[in-house]
Structure 1
Amino acid sequence: MSDHITSARWVVTGIQDRHTPVIVDEGAVLSRDGEIVAVGSLEEMRHLSPGAAETAYPDHVMLPGFVNSHHHVGMTPLQLGSPDHALELWFASRIPGRKLDLYLDTLYSAFEMIASGVTTVAHIHGWMSGGYEAVHGAATKVLDAYRTIGMRASYSYALREQNRLVYEADEEFCARLPQPLAGQVAAYLQSQVLTFDEHMALFDQLTAENAGQALTRIQLAPANLHWVTDESLVEMNARSVRHGVPMHMHLLETAYQKEYARRRTGKTAVRHLYDLGVLSPRMTLGHGVWLNQEDIEIAADTGTCVCHNCSSNFRLRSGVAPLNAFEKHGLNVGMGLDEAGINDDRDMLQELRLVLRAHRVPGMDDADVPSCPQVLRMATEGGANTTAFGREIGRLDPGRRMDAVLINWKTATYPFQDPDIPMLDAVMQRAKQNAVDAVIVDGAVIYEDGRFTNVDRDAILEDIARHYAHPRTEEETARRQMGHDVFPHVKAFYDGYLGAETRTPFYAPSSAK
């Protein structure tokens, strides 16, 4: 057995409640083979394990490693030529995006996440062409990248079996397109088809291949209500129960998805999922921007989790999720960076601040707006509960895995910080990536002093740059033209889709009258 003591000026083991972090001043964590054995003073840890190796971070705040609870790709859509359209148009605008080897692509975003303190990611994969073998090969590359860099990943390949481009059947949409565009789009969408049985076979194969891996787990992802049938949702839920794995489902990201659910089911999407019997603590609803009051109560009653993707919701004009209502009803809420954060990167420190600021509704009662401990809980324990690792991570408590981020207090607060501000509030609101001095996953340092211990970042970035220095292939050129040609038809599909629905927002940040 290998014992290690990691000490810091402050150790934040977790969050007791939305106002109270659990902090050990001049604290230390004793870990054994990547598992936390005890937390306390340095002297106490030395007494428990006299021969343990030691690493000291005397000017640092040690926090539980952050969990990015909703992630898809490495190279961002903007990098690949897709502007920040509204979500439904954005799907079409991404068709021209150039491809990159998924091992390199995954490492690219892993660099950004780890450098901001992310130790675990829920990687929701999808939108692949080429059939089962191609998808399995792609999934393997994603998983290999996380294992190589030393990051923890909860992986799923999202089930999409219908309505792949707009909120109606592929065949019906393509039938209204002019030729030859109709045939091109139909062939493109058909290339992404995996049957439900193939999706489940992929889950089974990846689960078997992942046996014995410490850093990666396999979970399930029904992609969104419009993308899956009721029968598939029920069967995936049954498989989730049998295998003891969670599910992550995009839901009610936009007002258009709210209207789709009404047209399909005659009720809200959440009520429909409840009636199907698929809501439970094993289900996470990604985004949840357009949940209404009853939906939130249903989620609370069933223990259903929500993943808040603040940057994505702003960028794609999806709306503002009612986070303050989620908190009042006691929902478990994680935090996701989605495709890219507000700065087109995966900076979790910045996302913490964005979530703090975005929900500061007018008024004077602090209970009405997010607190620093609450948001940190979202980025750690709340996010952990949405992944296949669950309570093994998310806090620095005995029995959990030793996943931590060390933030340099002097770097974060230089040249001055008044001590009247609580330490956690100051570090969350002021720390930037240059203050992240070390990141630990499963007891191993994977990032320190700006360098990755397992992968040469500069070499990987150079490989990516060389790839994109080549001109588009013939296939990429044709797909680029197809994407541009179909875009106006996708936009036309949604003309008048929302009707004249009256909306009463949870937040009222301004007034037209």
Structure 2
Amino acid sequence: MTETAFATSLFTGQDLVADAALQHRDGVIGAVLDGQAAQDGRRLIIPALVNAHDHARPSMTSFGAANLPLETWMLRSAFGTPPDPYLAAAVSLARTARAGCGTMMVHYTRPSGTMPIVEEARQIARAASDVGIRLAFALAVRDQNPLVYGDSAALLEALPAEARQPVEDLFIRPAMPPAAYLDLVEEIGAAIAGPMVDVQFGPAGVQWCSPALLEAIAERSAATGRRVHMHLLETVYQRSWADRTFPGGMLGYLKDIGLLSERLTLAHCTHARPEELDLIAEAGATIVTNFSSNLHLHSGLGPIAEAHRRGCAIAVGVDGAALDEDDDALREMRLVQIMHDGAGLRRNWSRAEFLSLAVRNGRKATGAPGPGALVAGAAADFTVIDLDRLDRDAIMPVDPLDLLFARGNTACVRDVVVAGRQIVRDGCPTGIELERCEAQLRGLFRKNLPRYQALQAALPALSAAATTWFESSCCD
């Protein structure tokens, strides 16, 4: 059956069409017709947004991780271990959908440990299916530097005996051999990959992965075409480590081993230099900026406008740390656009251009089909914005995209359709009861917290030792 969505304004990805009707059937757009007045208030239809880098985790502030740099923030991350993988993923995915996204990357950095990892991946894919959102899934892997960017022995020796044991139990674990990781990703792919799920390799970051692991992933990615998703140069300490470890250039190394390619997505790149951005652009790799996360973790602003000027493909991610920790991907997109749009009369992009590139590059990074344009034959992935709420004053005609980038947030999202399925209706996810799932998840986290009493007791000493290590070893 053909379904129709009416819009006062419809942004195709290139053009703004007034009084439009978007017809779709079996998950595919059939036509966009003009001269069709909206029937129920004023509406703006845009391509569904993409959260191109996330970890499907709850707010870390609730675990006492506010106002910390990444390197000590991560030491508290054990408190956020999902007690129920399905619930944690469903809540995060549904919040993201509610904010206007049709696709989300889950770079899975902290498995629950309650079940085999392939089964855990199945639970996350089931959550995505229930919510109705497209899923990119990359199992994060690391085989070195579990506590600091170097030998952890000195840090462990600085800890009192009662603190050292719980730290070793939680953070010092045998590394997975590269071949075993590659096989595991292929097994996950066989279990969950499909039209709505893209499985990728997920090296956590160069500082956390040995050359043998990175080279094995690069070789397998080249052979199979499977995409790779990883962090890069997120913090000043990672920048310092990279300069010491790769005096000839870290990006040059990634290029030499074949990892830097059009199949690679790089989250953050906060401290990438101009010559490194040129290499990224030349390779056709994608940069995902995570503006609010960078602010929360004191990582820096990132050279996003410069990357764009140099030809890098830019996408936007929430990274589980939106400005208000509410997974508001619409607000996140606005923040990136406003922060990096330029000063005075000079602009780096129009708002229409930025929306289009964020969707197009986000879909490429997550393996979603097509560039996200709302045209005949494309996937029926679109978001309906309440233009009456957005244009609350209605004094004079204003470009709806200007209104969107000035005021848009989750509260303005009315409906979201993905592959023809309505996954958000009147601002509420249709596939799960979000408030009930959030309440259940909070209860499980509270019940689970006593498991980490030893870590809570050890954290003051661990954080102090880590701070001393990074300040003395990683700063110029």
Q: TM-score band (shorter)?
A: over 0.9
**Structure-2 separation of matches of 1:445 and 1:42:** 24
How high is the TM-score relative to the length of structure 1?
0.86
| Cα-to-partner distance string for 1:2-23 (whole Å, 9 max, x where unaligned) | 43333322221114xxxxxx12
The answer to whether 1:143 aligns with 2:119 is no
The answer to whether 1:323 aligns with 2:316 is no
Q: Tell me by how many angstroms 1:80 deviates.
A: 2.1
Q: Is the contact between residue 84 and residue 112 of structure 2 (CA under 8 Å) also seen in structure 1? A: no
SS class of match (1:350): helix
1:432 to 1:128, Cα distance in 2 relative to 1, 3 A: closer
How high is the TM-score relative to the length of structure 2?
0.93
Q: Is the contact between residue 161 and residue 193 of structure 1 (CA under 8 Å) also seen in structure 2? A: yes
**Structure-1 separation of matches of 2:174 and 2:432:** 32
Tell me what 1:41 maps to.
34
The AA in structure 1 aligned to 2:465 is H
SS class of match (1:70): coil
The answer to whether 1:31 aligns with 2:8 is no
SS class of match (1:37): strand
Tell me what 2:384 maps to.
406
The AA in structure 1 aligned to 2:118 is H
Q: Tell me by how many angstroms 1:180 deviates.
A: 4.1
Taking only aligned residues, the RMSD between alpha carbons, in angstroms, comes to 2.4
The AA in structure 2 aligned to 1:482 is A
**Structure-2 separation of matches of 1:95 and 1:485:** 16
**Structure-1 separation of matches of 2:177 and 2:160:** 28
Q: Is the contact between residue 146 and residue 172 of structure 2 (CA under 8 Å) also seen in structure 1? A: no
Tell me what 1:300 maps to.
281
Tell me what 1:494 maps to.
470
Among 413, 433, 436, the residue aligned to 1:436: 413
SS class of match (1:95): helix
Q: Is the contact between residue 334 and residue 383 of structure 1 (CA under 8 Å) also seen in structure 2? A: yes
| Cα-to-partner distance string for 1:288-324 (whole Å, 9 max, x where unaligned) | 1111111111111111211011111111111111111
Map 1:471-482; keep pairs closer than 5 Å: 472-473=449-450, 475-482=451-458
**Structure-2 separation of matches of 1:328 and 1:386:** 19
The answer to whether 1:466 aligns with 2:443 is yes
**Structure-2 separation of matches of 1:125 and 1:467:** 20
Among 365, 369, 381, the residue aligned to 2:345: 365
Q: Is the contact between residue 93 and residue 484 of structure 1 (CA under 8 Å) also seen in structure 2? A: no
Map 1:208-227; keep pairs closer than 5 Å: 208-211=190-193, 213-227=194-208
The answer to whether 1:263 aligns with 2:244 is yes
1:174 to 1:129, Cα distance in 2 relative to 1, 3 A: farther
Q: Tell me by how many angstroms 1:192 deviates.
A: 7.1
Q: Tell me by how many angstroms 1:335 deviates.
A: 0.1
Tell me what 1:81 maps to.
64
**Structure-1 separation of matches of 2:106 and 2:404:** 27
Q: Is the contact between residue 393 and residue 403 of structure 1 (CA under 8 Å) also seen in structure 2? A: no
**Structure-2 separation of matches of 1:218 and 1:317:** 30
Q: Is the contact between residue 405 and residue 436 of structure 1 (CA under 8 Å) also seen in structure 2? A: yes
Tell me what 1:425 maps to.
402
Map 1:4-403; keep pairs closer than 5 Å: 4-15=3-14, 22-41=15-34, 59-97=42-80, 99-128=82-111, 130=113, 134-170=116-152, 173-191=155-173, 193-211=175-193, 213-362=194-343, 364-367=344-347, 369-389=348-368, 391-392=369-370, 394-403=372-381
Q: Is the contact between residue 286 and residue 307 of structure 1 (CA under 8 Å) also seen in structure 2? A: yes
The AA in structure 2 aligned to 1:423 is P
Deviates most, 491-500 or 84-93:
491-500
Q: Is the contact between residue 9 and residue 43 of structure 2 (CA under 8 Å) also seen in structure 1? A: yes
SS class of match (2:405): helix
The AA in structure 2 aligned to 1:214 is P
SS class of match (1:496): helix
Q: Is the contact between residue 124 and residue 157 of structure 1 (CA under 8 Å) also seen in structure 2? A: yes
| Cα-to-partner distance string for 1:155-199 (whole Å, 9 max, x where unaligned) | 110121111221014456435544343333222224474332332
| Cα-to-partner distance string for 1:109-144 (whole Å, 9 max, x where unaligned) | 22321121011001100233649x533332222221
**Structure-2 separation of matches of 1:203 and 1:250:** 18
Structure 2 gap segments, 5+ residues each: none
Q: Is the contact between residue 90 and residue 127 of structure 2 (CA under 8 Å) also seen in structure 1? A: yes
The AA in structure 2 aligned to 1:483 is L
Structure 1 gap segments, 5+ residues each: 16-21, 44-54, 501-513
**Structure-1 separation of matches of 2:157 and 2:183:** 32
Deviates most, 98-107 or 437-446:
98-107
**Structure-2 separation of matches of 1:354 and 1:67:** 15
SS class of match (1:490): helix
**Structure-1 separation of matches of 2:395 and 2:453:** 54
| Cα-to-partner distance string for 1:472-508 (whole Å, 9 max, x where unaligned) | 33x22123223333111111111233444xxxxxxxx
Tell me what 2:434 maps to.
457
Q: Is the contact between residue 81 and residue 111 of structure 2 (CA under 8 Å) also seen in structure 1? A: no
Q: Is the contact between residue 159 and residue 196 of structure 1 (CA under 8 Å) also seen in structure 2? A: no
| Cα-to-partner distance string for 1:13-51 (whole Å, 9 max, x where unaligned) | 114xxxxxx1222222332310223333377xxxxxxxx
Q: Is the contact between residue 121 and residue 192 of structure 2 (CA under 8 Å) also seen in structure 1? A: no
1:56 to 1:418, Cα distance in 2 relative to 1, 3 A: closer
**Structure-2 separation of matches of 1:450 and 1:349:** 13
1:56 to 1:191, Cα distance in 2 relative to 1, 3 A: farther
Q: Is the contact between residue 171 and residue 186 of structure 1 (CA under 8 Å) also seen in structure 2? A: no
SS class of match (2:12): strand
Q: Is the contact between residue 335 and residue 378 of structure 1 (CA under 8 Å) also seen in structure 2? A: no
Q: Is the contact between residue 70 and residue 338 of structure 1 (CA under 8 Å) also seen in structure 2? A: yes
Q: How many residues align?
A: 476
The AA in structure 2 aligned to 1:403 is D
**Structure-1 separation of matches of 2:74 and 2:313:** 29
Q: Is the contact between residue 96 and residue 481 of structure 1 (CA under 8 Å) also seen in structure 2? A: no
1:63 to 1:381, Cα distance in 2 relative to 1, 3 A: same
